[in-house]
Amino acid sequence: MRKKIVAANWKMNLSFQEAEELIEEFIDLLSEEEELQTDIIVCPPFPYLEMAGDYAAESSFKVGAQNISSFQAGAYTGEVSAGMLKSMGVSHCIIGHSERRKYFHEEEKILTAKVNQALANELIPIFCVGELLPEREAGKHHQVVRKQVRHGLFHLDTNEFEKVIIAYEPVWAIGTGMTALPEQAAEMHAYIRSLIAERYHQDVADRTKILYGGSCNAQNANQIFSQPGVDGGLIGGASLNATEFFTICKNAQ
Ligand code: PEP
Distance, CA of 244 to CA of 92 (rounded, Å) = 22
> Looking at residue 20, which CATH number applies to its domain?
3.20.20.70
Domain membership of residue 21 (yes or no) is: yes
Which atom of ligand 1 approaches the CA of 97 most closely? 3
Q: Which amino acid makes up residue 113?
A: A
Distance, CA of 182 to CA of 198 (rounded, Å) = 24
What percentage of the chain exceeds 90 in pLDDT? Answer: 92
Structure pTM?
Answer: 0.97
Task: Report the 10 Å Cβ neighbour count for 106.
Answer: 20
pLDDT of residue 2: 85
Q: Which of 39-48, 71-80, 99-108, 175-184 bottoms out in mean pLDDT, i.e. has the lowest?
A: 175-184
**Mean pLDDT, the chain, as a whole number?**
96
Structural domain boundaries enclosing 13? 5-69+79-251
16-31 helix and 49-57 helix, angle to the nearest 10 degrees:
20
Phi, psi of 6 (to 5 degrees): -125, 125
Domain membership of residue 137 (yes or no) is: yes
Nearest CA to ligand 1 atom 3: 236
pLDDT of residue 117: 98
In this prediction, residue 251 has a pLDDT band, given cuts at 50, 70 and 90, of confident
Task: Calculate mean pLDDT across residues 129-154.
Answer: 97
**Higher per-residue confidence, 26 vs 35:** 26
pLDDT single digits (tens) 152-194: 999 999 999 999 999 999 999 998 888 889 999 999 999 999 9
Question: Does the Cβ of 175 fall within 6 Å of ligand 1?
Answer: yes
Task: Calculate mean pLDDT across residues 129-139.
Answer: 96
In this prediction, residue 134 has a pLDDT band, given cuts at 50, 70 and 90, of very high
Is 58 designated active site?
no
Nearest CA to ligand 1 atom 7: 236
- Is pLDDT at 34 greater than 80 in this prediction? no
Cβ atoms of 193 and 232 within 8 Å: the answer is no
In this prediction, residue 36 has a pLDDT band, given cuts at 50, 70 and 90, of confident
Domain membership of residue 96 (yes or no) is: yes
Q: Count structural domains, the chain.
A: 1
Task: Calculate mean pLDDT across residues 209-234.
Answer: 95
Cβ atoms of 63 and 93 within 8 Å: the answer is no
212: which residues sit within 8 A by CB, 6+ positions away?
167, 168, 169, 180, 185, 189, 224, 225, 227, 230, 232, 233, 234
pLDDT of residue 178: 86
Task: Report the candidate in 232, 14, 213 with the shortest Cα–Cα distance to residue 96.
Answer: 213
Which atom of ligand 1 approaches the CA of 128 most closely? 3
Is 97 designated active site?
yes
Domain membership of residue 74 (yes or no) is: no
pLDDT single digits (tens) 1-19: 789 999 999 999 999 999 9
Cβ atoms of 6 and 248 within 8 Å: the answer is yes
C-alpha to C-alpha distances, 152 to 125, 232, 253, nearest whole angstrom:
11, 21, 29
Domain membership of residue 34 (yes or no) is: yes
Domain membership of residue 102 (yes or no) is: yes
pLDDT of residue 93: 98
Length of the chain: 253
Domain membership of residue 179 (yes or no) is: yes
Question: Does the Cβ of 179 fall within 6 Å of ligand 1?
Answer: no
- Is pLDDT at 220 greater than 80 in this prediction? yes
Domain membership of residue 83 (yes or no) is: yes
